[in-house]
Structure 1
């Protein structure tokens, strides 16, 4: 018996927690994969047969599935719990590149890859699928595909395909990291529609998501997610200073997942909750008109 619990959804990807309670040594009936999938095991172990090739899968060994691939599974050790990351064909091309050839479908999960997996799950719980989750996704898929790819690694595909349903941007290898970072900052500052997510922003700038993320961090010393949140925090401070009281509406207006996400982000950047900030930013009550040119005003102990 297999059940799936959705953890996050984004443009071109889904993240699910899959639990399998099967306990059988024989192979299951064949099923055909419908998407590019990366499956990492939390606990348990099982066997997978894909297009006639067998592999043992456990917390130290992940696998990638492809659309149209015939799969069978066996669970001689009992059940298992896995993370399943499904990617649309367009997003797969964006991350892996058209020319990437996978030497195999399984990949050894070293400590760094396990950390990337755990960070992806932590980010999914934080509720920012368009920036923070995508950056974690890039870290995980980049590390995985680098092991599975042939001579060309996905991180080198700076002119990769665009997001789902969109025209592929032309590669621009001559652009400097500073120019890319500047263009990204301008789009975020101008509230360009593409700046609502890392993937559409990369498409707008005609660079791969990998290159955009690396270039931004290299130039500013902070991640693109951190910078975008910094801009949103500044806008939140403007609203709080103006007397904004509806935090749920403020969160929605600024693109946060919910009020809790807004509060966590503001506290992380400023060190205070929105409620405290509203009090700190409130204009003091007028004390009456003071003539700073008069002797009385200068000699007053309250001046």
Structure 2
């Protein structure tokens, strides 16, 4: 059976109000086990003569609590300020990001549009240059054609079509240069056609003379045996002899006519070729300026000064060669 074993009460210090009070607590134990004593130290009792408001411990606690409240309030206020600043910065960053994204999209669209325009210009300029070279080549062969096979209007249709596309996509300065080139090339074609009218007339005369010569020559060859037989049968018959001489004289005059007209045609061809060369040299500066602008619009690196220098040298050499050619032609006439 359990029992309680009392322990002795420890002494207290007399006359000391703040002295620590020790108490012994009886611990229940079982039979046969020694009793155990646990010492518990108790807080000193409140002095009866000191009011609570004058207790420094209370004031220290109150001041500490107030300090903690002020620290919490200030920390909260600073945190709110920081959060508001962060929110404003985040909003500005989002706005900047949207503006940046919009600007990037706009730049991407502008670059894509620029690439499409550049590609279209490259195609149009290349086609126009090819058609220009075809037109110039056609002009240089007109003297070898006749009025029936010299389709001057049709030869410019490809160039007109290419320049019409250029006027839709090129810069205004380039458009004005293209219009000037088109106008000058059209005038050149019309002037060339007017200069070739006498040449084509001479070619028609030559064709008629050649056809008449073939006809009379065939008649002469066909009747020659008959004339010879008639003169053999009747040597005194003047008719056969006169007819033969007439045919031979006609053939001789036709040969002379053919030779004269042929010489005139060759002379007119030379004159036309020399005049055309001079007119094309006159177009060289305009074509060079247009070429430089086209290369710049297509984004092709171009040394303008070097290109212009080369173009001037080409014109000077071409003009000198043309002058020497004209002098040589004039010398052959004398």
For the aligned pair, the TM-score class normalised by the smaller chain equals under 0.3
- TM-score (ref. length: structure 1): 0.24
Structure ranking higher in strand proportion: 1
- Which structure's CA Rg is the greater one? 2
Structure ranking higher in helix proportion: 2
